[in-house]
Structures are given as structure tokens and as C-alpha cells.
Structure 1
Amino acid sequence: MSAGRLRTIGLGSLLLVGCAATPAYRPTPLNGTPASSAVSPSATPRLRPRSATAPTAPASTNVAAADDGRAFGPGVMGRPDHEGFDAVGTVATAITVAMLVPLTFADDLETRENTGDVLQILLPTLALTGTLVEGDREGSVQFTKSFLTSWATTYALKYSVEKWRPSGANTQSFPSGHTMGAFAGASFIQQRYGNRFGIPAYLAAVFTGVSRVDSQNHFMDDVVAGASISMLSTWYWVTPISDTTRIDPVMTEEGGVGIGISVSNETAHTIRDHHHQDPDDFEKRFRFEWSFGAAYQSENVVQSPRGTGDPIDLSEFKDTAETMTTSQLVFEYYPAPRHEFDFRFSPFEVRDTGTLAQPASFAGSTFPANQTLGSSYQYYDSRFWYRYDLLEHSRWTAKLGLALAIVDLNVAITDGTQTAEVGETVVLPALHGHLGYWFTPRLRLFTETDVSSFEGDDLVDGTLMLRYDMSRQWDIGLGYRYVHREIDVDQLTNRLDQSRGLLSIGHSF
């Protein structure tokens, strides 16, 4: 599996998460009790008799209905103009794919980079313009707040982290501003108006992120950071347009009974309710987490080929930086009580320079001692889990499960006149364990570990995390992750010891 395909897995997961994160519209039926999105006519509350006092919906559009006792279910509303992925969405997606797929695999790197430059401006522009065309004043306000939050967070990190770009041009690599802009537009379009145009917008945003990696402007973890910042900002500020729509029974001028459809523009009230009060019927099915922090390598020894090449410790190549900032994303799915499926994409890349104390052979090339060499180390870890919760309704949490790690590793060394490069993809099954304790209903400490030893490849990956639930939908965490990994295949061996500090932000939906 190539690094390009691993990039597709990682960034493609953001598209799936973004489309899954739009909450289904669940209008309140006429008796005020929560309703599911599909209610049978027999179970739907009927309109009040003509003699009853019917509430008047402000700024409503009345639709007359005969007083024949017919039921009006919550299914009559939703997002009729935006909700489904219908023929319009299919055509829009097909056009997007037809335009971007040839560019993705084309050799013309400059064209791909220029296209990404355009999309990072075009997508947020389309998002804001769409609110104006729709007359969606509330959407305009929400997009502005979401975009400004993403922009401020991204550039605050850029100028505080000061991570070198892969090209060495400057120290503004983390996070990716282009990816932030593209995902700010795409995530707003999808969250506010649904999948019809949200899916093609996300496809264009993913292309933008890939173009930033291919053009040597960013590492993959920079792109993950930019995309995650925008998606989290959108989920915080933006509500689906149907959340501001309600249905009420009304009396017509002729004395008949009708339904009133009202659209509220009370922006401040809607945002306040959306962010500071959990829905009464909220049930967590999914969770997205983005975490970032400094990473330090205590050992990173590579050898190619196995047995005949010379061991080279890339952790000694640290002329530029001894530590580097990296990030990862996690997506969790809870299909049933006590059962959990998770995915984590954790890319790590470092490029630096250093010298060898003595000549060394790597991938068929011999590099001299006491001469400045350049190194490139690229490690993409895509991890899948199934976990079973052993303890329900307890202060203690204990989970056991299985993990599958797909590791794509690429190493290159150059002295300016010759370059030696080798890459391998390794699949590692692993055992997973989780143990935690709730100090309060909101604060918990837990540790998680993956352990594997399979055909000469070893893995010990442990995390210690303190997490605080700000609400039922939002959490923050502070933690530490340690990774020991040994890969032993014919063309490449690698022994890595790495430590990471983690600051995490999670959103459940």
C-alpha cells in the first residue's frame, strides 16, 4: 500500500466523519414530546379540534388543511430543499470527481498546487455566498463565527509552534492554512445545508489537503490539523438550517385548520441553546477527536537491506529541531451498548539534517562520514479497533478488544549527489486494553495499550489521558503517548521509540 493510498484513507475518513456529523432533524410533534424522524400515521398526534385555541406561529407560511381528522406527522418537514443526496447531489458529486480525480493522479504538480490554491478561497466564498443567495441571515452569522474561529486558531498555532515546512521555505507549516480554508467552507455547506452539496464540497476540500502534501508545502499531520480545526469550529457554531424551522397548528381565515411553518432568525437564541444545552434526547453514536502536541524520538534506527545495510539512527539527525509538533484524529462508532468500533489516523513525518561518524550503506548506496546528509522519515499509522466494555454503570471502565494497524513507512537519505529511498507497508494485528476511573461525572483518567508481536514485527503503544467532559457533546483532554515499534522485513528494518504530549478536543454526536 502506497503513501498516496494511506493519505486517501486518512483524509477520506474526514469526509465520512463530516457527513456523519450532521444531526438528523427531529422536530417536536404537536404534543411537545420528542419524535423520531419516521413516525407512523397511527402514532402521530392529531390536530386539535376546531374549537381549541391554536398557537400562532410568527412569520409563518400557512398551508390550509381539511379538518377531516387526518394526521400530520413530523415527516412533513426537514430540509426539503437541501436534505437528501438526490439527483442534484449525484450530478454535483460526479462533476467534482470528474474534475479532481485526473488532477490527483496527474504528473503536473504545479497544476494540482494551483487548483488547491483556488479551492481554499473558492469553498469558503461559496459557503458565504450560498447563505446570501438563500437569504439565510443566521447562516451568514454562523459561518462568519466559524471561519474566524478556525482562522484565529490556525494562525495562532502557526506563529507559536513554528514548524518547518517540508520544503524548508519557512516555519509556518503547522497547521495547514489552505486546508483550514477549504474545510471551513466544505464543513459549513454540509452541516448547514446537507449532503446534496456537502459531499462534493468535502471532496474538493480533501483534494486541497492532498495537494498541499504533494507540493511539499505541508506534512500530512499539518493537513489533518487544518481540516480538524475547521470541522470542530463548524460543529460548534453551525446548526442545520432545519433546526430553526418548526410546525404549529393554526386557524385559517375561513375557520379551517392548517399548519404554520415558521423559520426563526433569532441567531443568538439558537446558538445559545445549541452550544450550552445538550439535547434532551441526545444519545452518543459517534465521536470525533483531534489531538496534537510535541513528539520526541529517543531512538529511530533504520537499516536497509536487513542484515547487509548499516544501522543509522535518524534521531541523531536533529540540526533543525529536536522535537516536532504532530497531530492525529480518532473516529469512534457505538453501534450498541458496550460495543465500539474505532479508527485512528496518526501520521508522523520529519525531515532533518545530520552527519555520520563513519561511512554507512543504506538501500544500496554508501554515504560518507562527516558530511551533512538530509533525511526524510514518513510514518503513517492507520489503526482500527473493536472494543467491548466490560463494566457498565461503574466508576471504573475496562475494555478489551482487537486492533489492526496498517503502517506505511518510507525512509530516504541523500547527500546532494545521490538519494537512497525505501518503503514498506506492514499490517500488524494487536491486542487492545483500556482501564480508567471516573473521579467525578465529568472527569476521568484512563490508559489504553495496544500490544503486538507478529512475524518479527513488534508494537507497544500506550496512552495515558486525563479527560474532562464540558458537556455531553464536547470534551477536552491532556495526555501522554509512548510508542515502541520494531519493523523487520527484507528491505527495511526500523526500531522506533517515541514520546508524545497530547492536547485533545472531542465532539460526540
Structure 2
Amino acid sequence: MRPQGIVAPKVNRCMGGHHEAILLQDQGFCRRNDDQVTINWETGGSMNRYPGFFKLICIGLALFNLTLGVQTGWCDNPDITQAGNILQFVLPGLALGSTFFAGNPEGGLWDREGTKQAAYSMATSAAFVISGKEIARKLRPDGSDRNSFPSGHTAAAFSGASFLGTRYGMAFGVPAYAAAALVGYSRFQADQHYADDVLAGASIAMLSNWAWVTPMHDRFTLSPIAVEGGAGVQVAFTDAKPYAKTSTSAASIGFPNTRFSFQFGPSFVTENEIGGQRSTDFDLTELEDNDNPLTTAAVRLDHHVNETHEIGLFIWPMEAKDSGNLSHPVLFQGVSFPANTRILSAWRLYDVRARYRYHFFPRDWFVLAGGGGVMLQHHIVRLETEDLKQKAEEDDLSAVPFLHIQTGYRFNEHIGFYIEEDGGWLSNQWFSSSTAYLQYNRGTHWDIRLGYQYTIRDIDANQVDNRVVQHQPYLVIGYRW
């Protein structure tokens, strides 16, 4: 079998089994490992040894853009909104349409298996999005309806992007993920969704994709590589059965070391007290509570460097808009808000934690791990009267170091119970987050967690103090690769 459609100024050949591999350029080389032939077209260097970690970075950057990449103000750019409306159809259409021209092992153009997998993945994502909207009934930021959680536009866009990345490689996935992130941002800036709605839509789409879609490069790979002194193209094809499912045996492939998890559930805010040098003390929970409990979502990306060392990123964007009358006059940021006057509030707290963790007994039934990291905290409080005659806002970004500890017990290879604590303090800011959960591992790649989280924060943002107490029962769906 000979790779087609590649033109090079010089062609050499090497033989491997029943395959003939074409070597491109003067310094190209071929190597054969078991049933795989890999051809590198390059000007020096070697291929990327960490594809799983590269995939983690790409997904992390896309999701990070959906949260910290947003503007601090609430505004609508019609051009960005329109771009998002168009791309929500273009990306899944491109993904599905590409299957009719991607090729197949028999030499035809139509990747029939890819068409089937794309259809199953997109249908699964759409079903969960529609069900989620009906169950959550979360009010949109603009108050237009109760279809805010999760974002359907974002789910559609990430369905297409994740299919392209999984089925045909990250060379196609990276630009598609960037376009999907733009769709998510467009929904946020149009005041149609909160950041966690967008994060939920993206997560549902990617998990649905991983449930159904297998890489076409199990059989054939054509991907760019960066090497010392230049760049090139790597081609690989195998003797494995076309489109066969990859074995889930840890013994055969090694335990997956990278994990994506999607956490969601109702968040009960029992205290949201505001005070400070230029503010009187008041509690935002005194307002009407448009959504209490508030359905919210978070994601976690973890990577095991080895069996004892782990690094991770946690993204939890919390946001609520409310309205109502306060029983007493309020001074906020030097602006007076009279009693019994309708007040509109907007509260935002983006919690992003980068963490290192060391596992003391990685192969034991008893679990003990510890570490630490830094929490990046973006905090916004805004008040305004309905006629906009009085308005004030506090916007603060801070970093708080924290310690982490985990303990638990694995009852068997499938079920375990765990307790975790994150706690940090810096100057007048501190937080404590306690979590207990039961985890069920389904095979090598999937896990489900059912847990409870209790969080207390004291935020000293310049001249505004904010104490937040919340508790949340939650469900987590995790996928490893």
C-alpha cells in the first residue's frame, strides 16, 4: 500500500512487512514497530512523544477562553453574535460533510464509519442539551426565558470541532476548537448565557464525541510535525482492523494518564454578604433569587506525569443576576441606593485553580495524596437601579495560594470513597472548599462521581468585602485517555 497524493522532489523507499513506505526529502526516514509503519517527512528532529498531553493543552486553552477570555462588561457586538449564529451550523456541518470525502481503506471517498459516529455523537449531545434545559430551567442573563443551561449553540459547535479533532487529528481539531470557542464567547457577550452554561455545552459535546468517535488514524495518519531546524509531515498506517475499537485493557495499552471531567449540579448560596470601607453591609440573598438554587458547572483537566506526580487545572465560573428591593438604604462603592427601590444586581466569581498533587500510596487500597497550587479569582459585583440613575461596580483579580489534601479508600477496582480539602489564605483573603464523593470506574476510560461540596470564601477586593457560603450536591462525568 502506498500513501497517495504526496509530491516530493526526491523519493527513496524502504520496505516494512507488506507495506512500502515512501520516504520524502533528503533526511526523511521510515521505522516499523510491530504492525505499524511510521514515515516522517522532516528536516531533522523527531515526532511529538506526548499526543495525549498536547490534546489536553488544546482542550484546556479552548475552555479557558470561554471563561477568563470574556470581557468584564456585559455588551453585545452584533458581528460576533452573528458569527456565532453561523458557526453553530457550519462546524457540525463541516464535520459531517467531511466524512463523505475523507476516504476509506477500500480506496473510496466515503468514510461510512465516520458518518455513523458523527451522527450518533451529535444526536447524543443534542439529547442531553435539550434534557438539561428542561431540567435546569435556568433564567437567561437577559431574562428572556429559562433555557440558559446548557448552551445549545456551544454544544453544536463543539460537537463538530471535537469530531474533527478525534476522527481526523488535532491538525484539523485545533482551528475547529478555536472557532467553537468563538461561538461560546459570542453567546456570553450577547447576554444569552453565563460562562458556566457555555462550559456545560462544550463539555457535553466533547463527552458525547468521546463516547462514540474513534480516530481514523488507528489505520492512517497524516499530521504536521515541528522539528529542530524545520517542519514536516508524518504519515502512519497500520495492519490493524480498520476502525476497530482500541482495547480498553490497561495491560495492553497502559493506564490512561490524562483525564477530563465535567461537574454540574445545583448550588445553594446561603450567604453572599457585601461590605467594606465605602459600603454598608448587606446580603445579595435578600433579593428575589431568580435562580436559587443556581445550576452551575465546572471542569477539571488532570495529567499524571507518572503514578505519583499529578498536575491539574480546575475551572469553575459562577455568576448570577438578580433583582429586588432591599429593606434598608445601601451604600456601595460610595453610591447610595435608597430602600424600597428596585435594584438590579450582577455577581460574578471565576475560580481557576492550578494544582500539583503527590500520591503517597498509588497502588494501595488506602488513598492519601497532598499538594498545593494557586487559585486565580476574578470577582465582580455590580449594583444599579432600574432607571440606571445609580450604579456602581467592583472588579478585582487576585491570586491565592492553597494547600490540598485527599484521603479515601478503594473498595475494589470499580468503587472508591474520597474526601478532599482545598484551603488557602493570603492577606485578608481566604477560602476553604471541602468535598466528599463516591466514585465508580466503568472500564479504563470512564468514571462517574456523586458528591457534595461545601465552600466558604472571604474576598477582600480593594474596598469591597464579600463573604460567600455555598453548598452543592453534584455529579461528575470523567473521561481518560
Aligned residue number for residue 368 of structure 1:
338
Aligned positions of 1:93-104 closer than 5 A = none
Aligned equivalents of 2:370 and 2:401: distance in 1?
Answer: 14
Structure 1 segments unaligned to the other structure (5+ residues): 1-43, 48-53, 55-61, 86-92, 247-259
Higher mean C-alpha displacement, 122-131 vs 317-326: 317-326
SS of residue matched to 1:469 = strand
Matches of 1:307 and 1:71 in 2, distance apart? Answer: 69
Alpha-carbon contact 1:236-1:275 (below 8 Å) kept? no
Shift of 1:318: 3.1
Give CA-to-partner distance per residue, 1:366-420, whole Å, 9 cap, x none. Answer: 1111122111111100001111111232111111101210000001111122221
Offset, 1:71: 7.8
1:342 equivalent in alignment to 2:312: yes
Are residues 1:233 and 2:208 paired? yes
- Change beyond 3 A, Cα 1:279–1:109: farther
Q: Does the CA contact (< 8 Å) of 1:123 and 1:186 recur in 2?
A: yes
Question: Which of 225-234 and 391-400 deviates more?
Answer: 391-400
Matched, 1:116 2:84: yes
State the 1:441 CA deviation: 1.5
Quick one: which of 289, 292, 296 aligns to 2:264?
A: 292
Once the two structures are TM-superposed, the CA of residue 452 in structure 1 deviates from its matched residue by 1.6
> Partners of 2:76 and 2:326 in 1: how far apart?
36
Letter in 1 for 2:81: E
Residue 168 of structure 2: which of 180, 193, 200 is its match?
193
Cross-structure match for 1:332: 302
Which residue pairs with 1:165 in the alignment?
A: 140
C-alpha distance in structure 1 between counterparts of 2:297 and 2:21, whole Å: 55
**2:32–2:38 contact (8 Å) kept in structure 1:** no
Which of 380, 384, 389 lines up with 2:354 in the alignment?
384
- 1:213 aligned residue: 188
2:252 maps to 280
Q: Which residue of 2 aligns with 1:507?
A: 479
Over aligned residue pairs, what C-alpha RMSD do you find? 3.1
Tell me what 2:277 maps to.
307
Query: Against the structure 1 CA distance between its residues 64 and 187, is the aligned structure 2 distance closer, same or farther, given a 3 Å change threshold?
Result: closer
Given that 1:294 and 1:324 are in contact with CA atoms closer than 8 Å, whether structure 2 keeps it comes out as: yes
Partner letter of residue 475 of structure 2? L
**Pair 293,78 (structure 1): closer, same or farther in 2 beyond 3 Å:** farther
Structure 1 residue aligned with 2:384: 414
Deviant stretches of 4+, over 6 Å: 104-108, 260-263, 275-279
**Structure 2 residue ranges without an equivalent (≥5):** 1-13, 23-29, 42-46, 49-57, 103-109, 222-236
Amino acid of the structure 1 residue aligned with 2:409: Y
Query: Are 1:443 and 2:418 an aligned pair?
Result: no
Q: Report the CA distance shift for 1:461/1:243 in structure 2 as closer, same or farther (over 3 A).
A: same
C-alpha deviation, 1:492, in angstroms: 1.6
> What's the counterpart of residue 425 of structure 1?
397
The question of whether the paired residues in 1 share the 8 Å contact of 2:330 and 2:338 is answered with yes
Paired residues in the alignment total 413
Cα distance in 1, alignment partners of residues 411 and 93 from structure 2: 46
The code of the aligned residue for 2:262 comes to W
Query: 1:364 deviation in Å?
Result: 2.1
Is residue 2:434 matched to residue 1:462? yes
**Deviation string for 1:26-74 (max 9, x for gaps)?**
xxxxxxxxxxxxxxxxxx9975xxxxxx9xxxxxxx7599xxxx98445
8 A Cα contact 1:78 1:242, kept in partner: no
2:194 equivalent to 1:222: no
CA contact (8 A) 2:21 2:37 kept: no
Offset of residue 262 of structure 1: 6.6
Cα contact 1:151–1:180 (8 A) shared by 2: yes
Quote the residue 2:124 is aligned against. Answer: 149
Q: What is the SS of the residue equivalent to 1:204?
A: helix
Cα deviation for residue 307 of structure 1 reads: 2.1
Equivalent residue number for residue 94 of structure 2: 126
Per the alignment, residue 255 of structure 1 pairs with: none
Choose 318-327 or 191-200, whichever is displaced more. Answer: 318-327
CA distance in 1, matches of 2:288, 2:439: 33
1:209 is matched by which residue type in structure 2? G
Deviation at 1:108, TM superposition (A): 6.8
Q: 1:321 to 1:144 in 2, by over 3 A?
A: same
Q: Report the alpha carbon displacement of residue 355 of structure 1 after superposing the two structures with TM.
A: 1.7
2:462 aligned with 1:484: no
* Paired AA for residue 355 in structure 1: N
Contact 2:309/2:356 (CA < 8 Å) preserved in 1?
yes
Alignment partners' CA distance in 1, 2:374 and 2:380: 20
1:202-222 Cα distance to aligned partner (Å, 9 max, x none): 100011111111110000000
Amino acid of the structure 2 residue aligned with 1:376: A
Change (3 A) 1:490 1:276: closer
**Structure 2 CA distance for aligned equivalents of residues 63 and 338 of structure 1:** 42
Q: Which structure shows the higher strand fraction?
A: 2
Conserved in 2, the CA contact under 8 Å of 1:288 and 1:332?
yes
Distance change >3 Å, CA 308–CA 181, structure 1 → 2: same
Shift of 1:321: 2.7
Cα distance between partner residues in 2 of 1:367 and 1:475: 49
Does residue 202 of structure 1 match 2:177?
A: yes
Pick one of 27, 37, 42 that aligns with 1:76.
37
AA aligned opposite 1:233: S
CA contact (8 A) 2:278 2:334 kept: no
- 1:150-184 alpha-carbon deviations (Å, 9 max, x no partner): 00001111111110000101000000000000000
Change (3 A) 1:355 1:152: same
TM-score, reference length from structure 1 = 0.75
* Aligned residues of 2:327 and 2:339 also touching (Cα < 8 A): yes
Q: What secondary structure is seen at the aligned counterpart in 2 of 1:331? A: strand
CA distance in 2, matches of 1:202, 1:71: 32
Looking at structure 2, the residues matched to 386 and 45 of structure 1 have their Cα atoms a distance apart, in angstroms, of 46
Alignment-mate amino acid for residue 303 of structure 2: Y
- How far the C-alpha of 1:457 sits from its partner, in A, is 0.7
Match of 2:459, SS state, is strand
Q: Which residue identity does 1:182 align to in structure 2?
A: A
Between the aligned partners of 1:237 and 1:125, the Cα distance in structure 2 is 18
Range 280-289 or range 329-338, more displaced: 280-289
Distance 1:274-1:365 versus aligned 2 partners, 3 A rule? same
Q: Distance in 2 between matches of 1:364 and 1:222?
A: 33
Q: Distance in 1 between matches of 2:379 and 2:21?
A: 65
